[in-house]
């Protein structure tokens, strides 16, 4: 079995360890004998996105979003083609925002976004940035579990029809939101850095399964020993008084 990952704007969109998500996906695949190929793609570089099983885009501050958004918009048809071909998507923070209708930054600049989904994001004032550790209860592909991460965003994301999860502690899509992120059956989008996947092995495996689906259908993944990962998650859940 083979898993092909496209890591978009690896050199620009990488906040609070987002790159660690790639390492987790690679390790969890390889431990199961799945060959994992990771290619990167940055500004002005041609790549056929539909050749990939997983599209990963990390977060970035407003400056990096400014730098990449036109290049990203130029790839809209290629991204649509990948969606149609069954590619799975993992989008973090700034990447999540750019798949909605638009992102309006603190100075009032509007970054037109890909518009695949109906949500839109407007930056808050400096006193209402969503910063800190966060815990959720998420249901992904029929399984419900807790997730933890770290958020730091001014952007307030509205009109999310299908969030990733319910906030147990922290902010989420807006300063006082009770929901966080976005999902559909191909896309998982979240404000959670940390990076996201090391402390959320269930979510990592859901993403691997989604990515394998277009070539191999529904696959069962051999269980791994997640004692340390779950211990790390538990420490955060306790710190946030969720358990």
Catalytic residues: 93, 193
* Site of tokens 């730091």: 152
**Residue of 21, 50, 65, 177 interacting with ligand GLN (CB under 6 A):** 65
Contacts of 197 (CB under 8 A, 6+ apart): 20, 21, 24, 25, 203, 204, 207
Q: Considering only 22-30, 74-82, 151-159, 177-185, which stretch makes contact with ligand GLN by CB under 6 A?
A: 151-159
CB of 206 to ligand GLN, least distance (A): 22
- Concatenated DSSP letters of 25-62: HHHHHHTTT-EEEEEEE-TT----GGG-SEEEE----H
**Residue of 62, 180, 205, 229 interacting with ligand GLN (CB under 6 A):** 62
Shortest CA distance to 162 belongs to which of 126, 196, 186?
186
Q: Considering only 132-140, 147-155, 169-177, 203-211, which stretch makes contact with ligand GLN by CB under 6 A?
A: 147-155
Cβ atoms < 10 Å from Cβ of 219:
14
Distances (CA, A) of 209 to 57, 184, 206, 214: 18, 14, 5, 10
Does 59 bind ligand GLN (CB under 6 A)? Our answer is yes
Q: Considering only 43-51, 58-66, 111-119, 167-175, which stretch makes contact with ligand GLN by CB under 6 A?
A: 58-66
Distance CA(60)–CA(93), nearest Å, equals 7
The residue among 42 and 80 lying less far from ligand GLN, judged by its C-beta, is 42
**Residue of 6, 10, 60, 146 interacting with ligand GLN (CB under 6 A):** 60
Does 205 bind ligand GLN (CB under 6 A)? Our answer is no
Residues forming the site for ligand GLN (CB under 6 A): 15, 59-62, 65, 93-94, 152-155
């Amino acid at each position: 079995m083979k898993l092909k990952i496209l890591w978009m704007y690896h050199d620009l969109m990488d906040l609070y360890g987002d790159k660690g998500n790639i390492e987790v996906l690679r390790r969890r695949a390889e431990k199961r004998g799945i060959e994992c190929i990771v290619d990167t793609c940055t500004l002005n570089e041609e790549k056929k996105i539909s050749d990939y099983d997983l599209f990963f885009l990390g977060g970035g501050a407003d400056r990096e979003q400014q730098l990449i958004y036109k290049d990203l918009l130029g790839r809209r048809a290629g991204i649509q083609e990948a969606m149609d071909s069954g590619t799975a998507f993992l989008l973090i923070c700034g990447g999540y925002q750019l798949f909605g209708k638009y992102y309006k930054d603190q100075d009032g600049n509007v970054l037109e976004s890909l518009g695949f989904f109906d949500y839109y994001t407007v930056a808050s004032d400096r006193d209402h940035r969503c910063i800190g550790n966060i815990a959720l209860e998420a249901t992904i592909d029929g399984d419900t579990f807790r997730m933890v991460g770290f958020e730091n965003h001014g952007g307030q994301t509205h009109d999310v029809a299908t969030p990733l999860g319910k906030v147990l502690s922290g902010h989420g899509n807006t300063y006082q939101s009770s929901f966080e992120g976005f999902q559909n059956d191909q896309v998982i989008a979240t404000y959670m850095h940390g990076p996201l996947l090391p402390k959320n092995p269930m979510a990592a495996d859901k993403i691997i399964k989604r990515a394998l689906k277009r070539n191999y259908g529904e696959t069962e993944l051999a269980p791994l020993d997640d004692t340390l990962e779950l211990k790390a998650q538990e420490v955060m859940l306790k710190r946030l008084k969720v358990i």
